[in-house]
Amino acid sequence: MNIILIGYRATGKTTVARLLSEQLGWPWVDLDVEIERLAGKSIAQIFAEDGEPVFRDLESRVVADFCARQGWVIAAGGGAPLRAENRQAMRQGGKVFWLTATPETIYRRMTTDPTTGARRPNLTARGGLEEIVELLTKREPVYRETADWVIDTENKSPSQVADEILAHWSRIRDDKGMHL
């Protein structure tokens, strides 16, 4: 069983995955980084040169691959749950935690993180806060359907978010008599 983190960009998935990995002694992966490794180029380049459908196909490949493994912490890309096959792989592969934040917080985090803007393209013509609001409106029902738990990251440090996930994980492990 894996721990799978979903949510919009800049909700802390990668940072929290790294912390969970350290605390559990498990390997972790950022699926966007894995996609870039497979493609040999950045996500922005994939979108510009090959188009979003090619990116989504690569994404589905890495979701299926890593969700089929055991004992991983997986930080999924923000759009990964949009495909039904990815949602199914996530649900079958582990427990899914949806990391949330307000659009304003997401925008602030994105504008202060130099790698977010450089690596990831705008997904609508609007960009900025308007894009975040538009995409969250579309994605939230899918995130909600996919997630076993919703973790609000507002006003919490990554360590606090990781601790909250670990508390849920301990209960799962204890309830199932698992030794993870």
The reply, when asked if residue 105 is annotated as ligand binding, is no
E-assigned strand segments in the chain: 2-6, 28-30, 73-75, 94-100, 149-152
Task: Give CA–CA dist 54/39, Å, rounded.
Answer: 10
**Number of other residues whose CB lies within 10 A of the CB of residue 78:** 21
The reply, when asked if residue 78 is annotated as ligand binding, is yes
| CB 34 within 8 Å of CB 62 | yes
* pTM (2 d.p.): 0.91
Task: Give CA–CA dist 137/131, Å, rounded.
Answer: 10
Q: Which domains does the chain have, with CATH numbers?
A: 2-176 (3.40.50.300)
Tokens linked to 147 = 């997630």
The reply, when asked if residue 115 is annotated as ligand binding, is no
pLDDT of residue 180: 47
The reply, when asked if residue 15 is annotated as ligand binding, is yes
The reply, when asked if residue 162 is annotated as ligand binding, is no
Q: Cα 59 to the chain's mean position, in Å?
A: 12
pLDDT in single tens digits along all 180 residues of the chain: 999 999 999 999 999 999 999 999 999 999 999 999 999 999 999 999 999 999 999 999 999 999 999 999 999 999 999 999 999 999 999 999 999 999 999 999 988 876 655 555 555 546 689 999 999 999 999 999 999 999 999 999 999 999 999 999 998 877 765 554
Tokens linked to 16 = 């929290």
pLDDT of residue 11: 97
